[in-house]
Chain A
Amino acid sequence: QQQVKQSPQSLIVQKGGISIINCAYENTAFDYFPWYQQFPGKGPALLIAIRPDVSEKKEGRFTISFNKSAKQFSLHIMDSQPGDSATYFCAASGPGRDDKIIFGKGTRLHILP
């Protein structure tokens, strides 16, 4: 059972455009939703994270939108730049026995110069 479903698998966006990556989760006990960015040959690095008590969190060009009732959350990258080209993973974790971070399968983002 895939607990965190991510789409699309790959995404191509023009420089300056908005990149949108979506995730859906199953476990209502999850209470922490991070996004990780991974460049080739590197480990994932935390980009931005949200908790379900807020519907949106913005850090610079990166925004997470969260819909608790739909069990969905998304990453928006505004003014996308070629340097944003990477693989992005949504993830989720919860308290107690759910506190291991569960990752989605990833989205390969390519920003055209």
Chain B
Amino acid sequence: GAGVSQSPRYKVAKRGQDVALRCDPISGHVSLFWYQQALGQGPEFLTYFQNEAQLDKSGLPSDRFFAERPEGSVSTLKIQRTQQEDSAVYLCASSLVPRGLSGNTIYFGEGSWLTVV
């Protein structure tokens, strides 16, 4: 596709439920990022993949958060035993070149809006 595609766009989960959020990056993009954006806040970094390798997961808030990108294209962010504080927009972004080249343009998807009730 032309841009970064995320699904589902909206998800309501009951507290304690597991959720999986999907990201389909721009074709050929090496780098893939996940960000969390709470209401009224800026995006906060969660994790980074270079192809299939997860090189940085320093932003994942707890071990309930898990991300994968097994074939170096589509990525899934999984949140286990969701809690109310997990309610946020989860943004996926991709970039043509590897991170480490500061100044890469990264392209964001429209986000998956998660509400935990």
Where the two chains meet, the residues of A that have a C-beta atom closer than 8 Å to any C-beta of B are 6, 31-32, 41-46, 49, 51, 89, 91, 93-96, 98-106
Q: How far is the CB of A19 from chain B (nearest CB, A)?
A: 18
Whether B42 pairs with A31 at a CB distance below 8 angstroms is no
Segment among B12-20, B61-69, B103-111 that sits at the interface with chain A: B103-111
How many residues on B have C-beta within 8 angstroms of the other chain's C-beta atoms?
A: 25
Q: Which chain A residue lies CB-closest to B41? A: A105
User: Main SS of chain B's interface residues?
Assistant: loop
Q: Which residues of B contact A51 (CB under 8 A)?
A: 103
Whether A95 pairs with B42 at a CB distance below 8 angstroms is no
Q: How far is the CB of A2 from chain B (nearest CB, A)?
A: 10
Whether A31 pairs with B102 at a CB distance below 8 angstroms is yes
Whether B105 pairs with A46 at a CB distance below 8 angstroms is yes
Known: A31-B102, A43-B111. 6 other contacts (CB 8 A): A6-B42, A43-B110, A44-B43, A46-B105, A91-B42, A106-B40
Q: State the CA gap A106–B39 with chains docked (Å).
A: 11
Where the two chains meet, the residues of B that have a C-beta atom closer than 8 Å to any C-beta of A are 4, 33, 40-45, 48, 56, 59, 91, 93, 99-103, 105-111
Contact of B102 among A41, A95, A104, A106 (CB under 8 A): A95
Q: Which chain B residue lies CB-closest to A90? A: B42
Whether B100 pairs with A104 at a CB distance below 8 angstroms is no
Q: State the CA gap A47–B111 with chains docked (Å).
A: 18
Q: Which residues of B contact A31 (CB under 8 A)?
A: 102-103
A/B interface sample: 14 pairs, CB < 8 A: A31-B102, A43-B93, A45-B108, A46-B106, A95-B100, A99-B100, A100-B56, A101-B45, A101-B106, A102-B45, A103-B42, A104-B42, A105-B41, A106-B40
